[in-house]
Structure 1
Amino acid sequence: MAKLRTGELTTHVQQLAAGAVGRSSGALSGDDEPPVVVLVHGLLTDSLASYYFTLGPALSAAGIDTVMYDLRGHGRTERPPTGYQLEHFVEDLDQLLDALGEHRPVHLVGNSFGGTVAAGFAAWHPHRTATLTMIESEPPVAAWSGHIRDGLAHARRELVRDEAIDWIKERHGAHTARLSRNAGRILATTTLADDVPAGRLIDDDLSALRCPLLAVFGGASGLSAQVPELEAKVERCRTVVLPDQGHSVLVEQPARTRDLVLDWVREHHARRAEAWAGAVG
């Protein structure tokens, strides 16, 4: 683990080199430069730890360079009092890649709000993006802005109440309650709840998303209602809906999510390699 200066922040990052965790069967060949995947976590109760215990080691073992990092205000990354518009999160990622000396187009995997950040990055930095995977997420369009505004306003009211934390502890356990209490502190000490919904958006027609998109949803979460629109508006789009699964796809279905991401990255890495070979051949 390391901390790197990324513009105005010090960002906590964890890198797992291809094969560093132990080579798995079906790993990508070591003859060519491996692909790089960047994992972007969700808002408030999340950090890079959610990937460290799910996808990160498996991707490394499969021959993929893997980058995990804590978003601004989260985990071990600095928590400024202001500056939480979506474009700040996107610029943080761009500057992190610069600090890492990363020249390869990256395969972005974002969970929940992390998928929204990844979609913003793909839209505004297409030359740095190989593919985009959104897990239980929405692209940063006007409808998303309204949804996140309402959700953050509710969280800001409730997560500072002891009664609410006790309710979470009774139903979801002490660990979730601790995460929720910390989320309340973030909301109480920063402008995040006001900034995130007020950030930069992309057009509703999703024309800014030009890279291949894999969108994974839980069938019971409600976000899967986006499937027809995504398939209609994004030219290179694949959607997967996991039946009877709620919002916590990454945590509750790590093996299935891992297989989907691995197959997606392998497929598109192979296509890029073939295209490059044809261009120089």
Structure 2
Amino acid sequence: MALVNANGVDMHVERMPARNGTGTGTVSGTSAGTAAPPTVVLLHGLVIDSLISYYFTLAPAFAGAGLDVIMYDLRGHGHSERPPSGYLLQDFVEDLDALLDRLEVAGPVHLVGNSYGGTVAFSYAARRPDRVASLSLVESEPPTGAWARKMADSLGRGVVELARESLYPELAEKYSAHVSRRVKSIARLLHSCTLSEEIPASRVMDEAEIRSVRCPVLAVYGSESELAPQEGWLKSLLPNCRTATIPDQEHSILTGATQQVSDLVMAWIRDHAAVPSASSARPAPTATPARSAKAEYP
């Protein structure tokens, strides 16, 4: 485990170096050369999540395909420091910027964000377009007024429910002692800092600011998710946006449809990792970039 102090907070960071069997240091499917491998930064979801979720989903496949993978626990999560305050969305954006500086990451990175991690990634792309090569949003959305209201509702309900002492023996009986302990750790997070108050109070983006994001954006949804209907709206705002909907999935597509998500995101990063030579140019993507996933193109 590595702790890196970034933006005044000790961040738990893990890296998986690129492992490409060709020895070229490039993503499989792109032109060969001596350039450093592309860097992908994986940002996890809020409260119940941490970087460990990527160890069992995207990270190993990405490193195996020739990407330099960076994962880190967001402030307050996992093994990162949990300050009593400082949980506005902008704080998370500044953490990412400072972390890339501390890790001396050269060149634009490919950001992959699951749920709240995608909101952080989108906000970062608006603030630092020079540092972002592409965005992949997994069951995520930009920080709008509607997003802030949803955050206020879900976090507020969580604070109230997790304060109920009878909840934990109920969970242990219905599920397991492990589940009960896990939920207790979530309660400690919500009750020991101002995260539940600050995130909904974060500055949101209007449509003009959302339109300012010019990097390639992939948005992947579960067909049964409440976020799926926003794909048309997002594509109407972003000129370089693609969407994909995975059938029979809700919000947890990272774990429920790992291979499909991995295939979609990997193809997106590969297509934007480098400008291929004339001999290795890839054809334009088809309407079905991964089995069982419906892709939508403008």
- Relative to the length of structure 1, the TM-score reads 0.90
Partner of 1:189: 192
1-side partners of 2:103 and 2:165: how far apart? 41
Measure, in 2, the Cα distance between the counterparts of 1:260 and 1:171: 36
Structure 1: stretches of 5+ with no match in the other structure: 275-281
C-alpha spacing 1:147/1:172, structure 2 compared with 1 (3 Å) = farther
2:123 is aligned with 1:120 = yes
Q: CA deviation at 1:7?
A: 2.1
Is residue 215 of structure 1 aligned with residue 219 of structure 2? yes
SS of residue matched to 1:263: helix
Q: Give the AA of the match of 1:246.
A: E
Cα displacement (A) at 1:165: 3.9
Is the CA contact 2:16–2:68 (under 8 Å) kept in the aligned structure 1? Answer: yes
CA distance in 2, matches of 1:180, 1:137: 23
* Greater shift in the superposed pair: 227-236 or 154-163: 154-163
- Count of matched residue pairs: 273
Q: Does 2:223 correspond to 1:255?
A: no
Amino acid across the alignment from 1:211: C
Name the structure where helix makes up a greater proportion of residues.
Answer: 1
Q: Which amino acid aligns with 1:32?
A: A
1:147 and 1:127 map into 2 onto residues whose CA distance is: 30
Q: Evaluate the alpha carbon distance shift between residue 221 and residue 176 of structure 1 in structure 2; reply closer, same or farther with a 3 A threshold.
A: farther
Listed one character per residue, the Cα deviations across residues 199-244 of structure 1 (whole Å, up to 9, x for unaligned) are: 1222134213221110011111211011110111111111111111
User: Following the alignment from structure 2 to structure 1, what is the Cα–Cα distance between the partners of residues 262 and 175?
Assistant: 25
Query: What pairs up with 1:159-178 in 2 under 5 angstroms?
Result: 159-169=162-172, 174-178=177-181
Deviation at 1:30, TM superposition (A): 5.7
Preserved contact between residue 27 and residue 63 of structure 1 (Cα < 8 Å): no
Deviation at 1:167, TM superposition (A): 4.9
Q: Tell me the residue number matched to 1:71.
A: 74
5+ long unaligned stretches in structure 2: 278-298
Between the aligned partners of 1:219 and 1:142, the Cα distance in structure 2 is 23
Contact 2:42 2:54 in 1 (8 A): yes
**2:204 counterpart of 1:201:** yes
What is the correspondence of 1:130-145 to structure 2 with a 5 Å cutoff? 130-145=133-148
Question: Does the CA contact (< 8 Å) of 2:207 and 2:237 recur in 1?
Answer: no
Q: Is the CA contact 1:27–1:61 (under 8 Å) kept in the aligned structure 2? A: no
What is residue 284 of structure 2 aligned with on the other side? none
Task: Report % sequence identity.
Answer: 45
Matched with 1:15 is 15
CA 1:176–1:118 in 2, change beyond 3 Å: closer, same or farther?
Answer: farther
Paired residue type of 1:90: V
Alignment-mate amino acid for residue 164 of structure 1: L
- Give the CA deviation at 1:17: 0.9
Q: 1:35 to 1:80 in 2, by over 3 A?
A: same
Alignment partner, residue 242 of structure 2: 238
Q: Find the aligned partners of 2:116 and 2:21 in 1 and give their Cα distance.
A: 27
Corresponding residue of 1:3: 3
User: Structure 1 residues 188, 70: CA separation in 2 closer, same or farther (over 3 Å shift)?
Assistant: same
Q: Quick one: which amino acid aligns to residue 121 of structure 1?
A: Y
TM-score (norm 2): 0.86
Distance in 1, matches of 2:267 and 2:259, equals 12
Q: Are 2:11 and 2:80, in contact at CA under 8 Å, matched by a contact in 1?
A: yes
Taking the aligned partners of 1:158 and 1:88, their CA distance within structure 2 comes to 27
Could you tell me which residue of structure 1 aligns to residue 154 of structure 2?
151
SS at match of 1:71: coil
- Partner in structure 2 of residue 277 of structure 1: none
User: Which residue matches 1:86?
Assistant: 89
